[in-house]
Amino acid sequence: MSNEGKDLRSQQIADRNKAMAKITPSLPRVRVTAANDVLRRVLKHPNGAKFPSGGGSVQWPLDRFTKRRIKEGAVTVEGEQAKQSPPRRQPPPPPAA
């Protein structure tokens, strides 16, 4: 493949990535801390974000995985975001008889 072919293909890939970035919804991010040292060593987000080995927090997207870890107590949300609880789902109304 010539250099011209590679450049054209690279440009096509870059254009597609830009188009996908425009239509893909971006998730809000939260800063979380592991509940204990054991979880800090073994727990990581599916996107690859691990906790630092020396302690501290990491930013994760606020997706189903993160919400589940918060709910089960494996991680806690830090700072201002901890005060803002995510909106809860309303139960469906009872069926009309």
Q: Please, is 34 exposed, middle or buried when counting C-beta atoms within 10 Å of its C-beta (0-12, 13-18, 19+)?
A: buried
Predicted local distance difference test score (pLDDT) of residue 79 = 78
Helix (H, G, I), strand (E, B) or coil at 22: helix
Instruction: For residue range 10-63, list pLDDT tens digits in order.
Output: 999 999 999 988 888 788 999 999 999 999 999 999 999 999 988 899 999 999
pLDDT at res. 81: 56
Per the structure block, which two tokens stand in for 73? 């107590």
Mean predicted confidence (pLDDT) in 72-88: 72
- Check: pTM over 0.95? Answer yes or no: no
- Quick check: helix, strand or coil at residue 65? helix
The rounded distance, in Å, linking the Cα atoms of 77 and 84 is 10
Please give the DSSP secondary-structure letter assigned to residue 96: P
Two tokens, residue 5: 């072919």
